[in-house]
Chain A
Amino acid sequence: MLLTPSDAKVVTDRLLARSKANHCIVRLRGGERINLRFARGSATTNGDQSDLSVTVESHFGHRSGAASVSSLDEQALVSVVARSEEIARLAPENRELLPPVGPQTYPAGAGYDAATAAVRAERLAAVSKPVIDEAVSRAIDVAGYCMARRGFDAMATSAGQFAHDARTGAEFTVTARNKSGTWSGWAGRSNTRFDALDTASLGRRAIDKAAYTVPAVRLEPGKYTVILEASAVSDMVAWMMWWMNARDADEGRSVFSRRGGGNRIGEKLFQDGVTIFTDPGDPVAPERVFGDDGLPQRRTVWVEGGILRNLIYSRFWAQEKGREPIPRPSSFVMAGDTTTVDEMIRTTRRGVLVTRFWYMRLLDAQKLLVTGLTRDGNFLIEDGRIAAPALNFRFNESPLAVLANVLAIGPSERTRGGENEDSVVSAPPLLVKDFNFSSASEAI
């Protein structure tokens, strides 16, 4: 279910008026998602899912509790306020609990597209069909996912804050495999606008990669120069973004901890060209207009010219450290440069082109070492050209090492990671030296 700002305000006002707590925070979230899947060139599952949650957080002194329901019925709303107050009264005191924020000024959101909000299943099937047709004509199997969603977040506090943010999103991802199962390719994109997804072009890209007839070569594990396409870069940087919490760093349990105490803000950690930011007004990967604490999301530069500029500061930790709070972002933009993937290939004597990553998991928090695998489009580059498909690798590598070893940066584009559904990310392809492939994988 979706609510307009005025409808959401009516709901939050009614709930706040009913509250008997010292402080009260109301969060509304809802949306609708339509999707269609296909595999082996034929439709499999689909769905249109509507959802809604109404969460009431009550504070009594330093005690707090939250309750949620998925309904706007009067009885459910009366009950959710009562339930949150009941559990808040029973909760032990939390000395770090802060009163909710008051009125704020929010930036205009850039994440909603009315045409995307109106997409129906018929359209999903229509844009998938040319991809399936091309696969059939080239004797390749394709499996894909096409999705459009619309949703909203709203938040109001007893201190007078109210925020509403509407978002749309669209995704198309496709995996192509040859009939003998000996090679595969992938392409995928997400966007605020469904109309911006060129599904035929994405399908062709995946099929072109899968259609290589040269047998895949088996390379020895080791350190390689790699060209990481934007999807792979987005996954690698997303791991780092998740760990950019100032408190963990200050407490000595993060890769961003400084030996002896404090954190590494101000240190030059990465290559000069590395700049990462979030911005609610970014036209490609817009950040939400407000954070989970109700504060406005502002343009925040996390890394600038290779220097760590900011970490996430909760309201409590910011108060402790005498800084401005910085909410956790839900998106990021890694700034691009001008070197295209083709140019990166031309300048590489020996290396590996990586299409996407898979099953990335933390291996060692001390250095933010992450393991994962390459998948669906790994190629050996020799003497400035693609020489052959190359069997997949497992890697054990850190995003900090990757961003320190950057040799060239391509144009930043809205992309879609291997496992990060609904992500809002813009990232460039990267040419990186000394990437650590730790073992071979025969999986296709």
Chain B
Amino acid sequence: MSARLLPGALALLVLALFVGSLSVGPSAVGLGTALTDLLAGADTTAAVIVAEIRLPRALLGVGVGATLGLAGAALQGLLRNPLAEPGVVGVSPFAALGAVIAFYSGLSGTFALALPLGGILGALLAVALLYALAGRGGGMLTLVLAGMALSSLAGALTSLALSLSPNPFALAEIVFWLLGSLADRSLTHVWLAVPFMAVGWALLLTAGRHLDALTLGELTARSLGVDLGRLRLRIVLGTALAVGAAVAVSGTIGFVGLIVPHLVRPLVGWQPGRLLLPSALGGAALTLAADIAVRLPGGAELKLGVVTALIGAPFFLALVLRTRGSAA
């Protein structure tokens, strides 16, 4: 497929899956009926279910998925490392930790923006730590090990924070924060997260040209006029804003940022800059598809991260095997 047609084709796929996401749910409400009612201004049950339960879910599927795909592509470009991904390297788990502290302390009850801000602060801390540990000249192994340590630290601290909550349900909700879900989110969550995600997207999408230059090495990039310090800051901030806000409302959905850039890369010709927009669209498509899959009838609804991990973990292992030769 031509690289020019790819974004358009992916956008069509996202649109189709978006409509699919609005049509699927436990109650037998048809999208057609609901749209007719909504257009007529009738406040029917079908209209409420589609507009207030399924629409926020589909919108967050697009936003969170695009964030994860885009952040994965940008991190892989910045760290020049194919295993970088917000979930694998600990950014999403730290964002979840920040959101957990903001939510269960009751802070977000009095000040709603505390939820995305907590996620963003957590993500910022993780990206900064990661860059300090494995950013410059660190091999693939260093990155994966640093990411693993950050992820387990964040998981343990999240569990600790939930254990300290006096609410009896809190500890059981660790499943949401570790595996992620879009179930029963509301438009409030969309408004809380989307502005921050949009700023993050803008920062990441405009970094393409400099990321392309970086593939030639830091010295060459600098000689081409790339300010490496500013590029790093841009990617770190963009990732933290987008991933932090996304995780704060959806929990940690893993592997999307890993799978999508790798699927898209052969189609765009190995340039990190060209990878960014298609990765965002691909991430949205994969997340919407996975979120439709968890709602298909047959037993209780799965957490979204279960499905993405079932696809992503074998993918990750295959990638480790394939890159093992070159890593040494």
- A, B from the same assembly: no
Interface set of A (CB-CB < 8 Å, partner B): none
Interface set of B (CB-CB < 8 Å, partner A): none
